[in-house]
Structure 1
Amino acid sequence: MERQLPKNVRQIGNVCDEPKIYVEDYVDTFLGQLQEKAMEKPVAAALTGEITKCEDKVVVYISGAIRAEDVEVEGTNLKISEEIWEKIEKEQKEYFKDQKLIGWCLLETGHPMSMNRGAQELHRKMYDQENTIFIWKDASSSDEMYFAYKYNELMQIGGHYIYYEKNPQMQNYMINTRRQNGVTPSEMVEDRAAKDFRSAVRQRMEIKEQSQSSKLLYATSALLVVVVLAIGVSMMNNFERMESVQQSLEQLASAKGTEAKVDDNAQVNDQRVNGENENQINAQSEGQNQEETTENQNSETVAASGSVKASSDTKKTNDAKSEGTVPEVSTVQEQLSQSDYYTVKKGDTLASISKKTYGDTGHVEAICKMNGLSDGNLIFIGQKLLLP
């Protein structure tokens, strides 16, 4: 099964070159500890791990490091004795039995890494395999260079990754060799992979909690918006109901004014008819004493008869009113001429009606009294107002 690329990584430099180099965090820590020991003399370490392919790319995983106790420096040449190599191979089988030797690291100070110092010849002698790794570190600074053995020579690689995983083999090696390597227990690091894992889990939990809080806040906001909309709709409905009630009150007030107007008209007409009846009756009695009656007198007699009939109808109306029956408005309106009314038009007020009819605004109160209006503003379009 093909190994998957680590997900928890930290990039160092430009990683566009191939092979892709992944250095485990414990290995990087161990090389940093050896860097302090290289201030006195050069220190070397063998690298263990695997060279494989992942996603059609060559990937080198450096999962372990074994210190070479002594490195012989003769001018520009480097030499590691056979005894040191035997010890490295023994420790590799003891601590990293499922890994292979895939490269080495040289830590020194005062000299920039130079190919003519024999590093390339030493690498070719120890690791004559494609894509094996050589690391050079400056003990006095943080400078470092990574090389891959390709086309029979060491070629510099622009960058690499530091990855974080459980690495009990390297951790066990660091604990058991801390005395011979000069690393005290206080310099040992805790299980960084576990710590980073816990940190990643904690961050995911925080992100999840923030997401849940955001969802709750969104739901609360949406509910609040719905409540506000419901209140707004209820207020609009109540406003429409209030307007309807107000219109009903206005119509009732107008109907009351019309009823009062009808009563007044009935009373006025009753007075007029009674007066005409008296006059016509006198005229009729005088005509009976005369022998000749002209055509005009006959007309007056007919009119008198009509007036008597109207008086009789009016009397019946008043009798019905005294008995609690209200006469119809149309019966009263038929007895008045069109000139006795004013039909309200759009934009009319009692003041404008008074001015149109009488030439001034002094008859507003009389119009109100005549039509039984308690409020002069309660008139509507099409309403017929009785003029005084």
Structure 2
Amino acid sequence: MQYFFDGDNNLYGYGTEEREDGFTLPSKIRQMGAIEDGLKIYMEDYVYTYLYQYGKSAGGTEKLAALVGQHLVIDDQETLVICGAIQGKSAKEEGGSLRFGDETWEYIGSQMEKYFKGMTLVGWVHCQPGFGSLLMARDEEFHRAYFQERWQVLFVVDCLDKMDSFYIYQKESGGLQQAKGYFLYYEKNEEMQEYMLDHHVGKRKEAETAKPEPAAEEGERKRRRPTPEERIDAAQEIRRVLQKRAKAAEAAQKSRYTMLAAVSGMLCLVCVCMGFGFMKGLERLQSVENRLAAVQTSYTALAEDIEGVKSQAVFSAMALVTEDKESEETKKDETEEVRTHIVEEGETLGYISRKYYGDNSGVERIMEANGIEDANKIICGQELRIP
């Protein structure tokens, strides 16, 4: 099989692979999302298109549908081929959610017998406009109760936000998990085309219903089934309308992107201007810091000079005090009277001290001034210096 990428990077494949039992894989496919190991899901394009039309009809209310197709094992690969969708008419609300009722099951069975003979019920669809493609707990409960085959799937569609997801059984836990991707395939699907023509949900049918028709023409229209050419033309018209809507949506998306780019450019320009202002502010702040550093340096030098002057002044004052003290002592020594005493018989140093000082406090001074070591060793006639 050969592959190429189209403009929006979606993978397409061309070619055929035929099995020994006669089944042929789809010849043209488009990959939606990522494909992982496990169940591979192929959905025919008419089915996909019809489900989005069906979801938008009747004011975009909540709807259910059934999926029909084949479950196959191809080269040990489990494969699900979905080639039909049936409206879930007469669905009933249970616990705040729509569910298939008995009338719904009977209707699905009758439509399979009429349009999709030989096919199998492979899953169901929940259209929930405006609620995204998230799995609801009640949907999982319903699926586990009525779609118990491991290959039966749930397809959740939000036609307003254009979101959809398949949910499949997990191998380990048995719960439902979101499939990362699937394939859309394109080939002749007369069964689905016929069902779409008989159950049209677009605006054309509403217009035709509103327009009165002659009774004869209406009876003839009911009696005559569409020819294959008419079915193909109708399907092509449906696809043309969808492509036109897709292009309009793409143009609107581009317009939004252009506006977003312009706003982003303006924001970038504002950020650049703010950046320049911030840089100027940094330069001014750096200048202030440099000036503060210079002032700090000057203040430190001035403080050191003042400290040196103070130290010198203190040293000079101390020197003056010392000189004054020495001068006073010198003057005291110079002015102090030098006295002498001749020791007479019977005198002691204590007697001499009391004579000159009034008490015995001068004994040591007299001994020091005369070099006497023992106060009891003075002799008669000895000359003593009295300080």
- How does the TM-score come out when normalised to structure 1? 0.45
Higher relative contact order (CA 8 A, sep 6+): 1
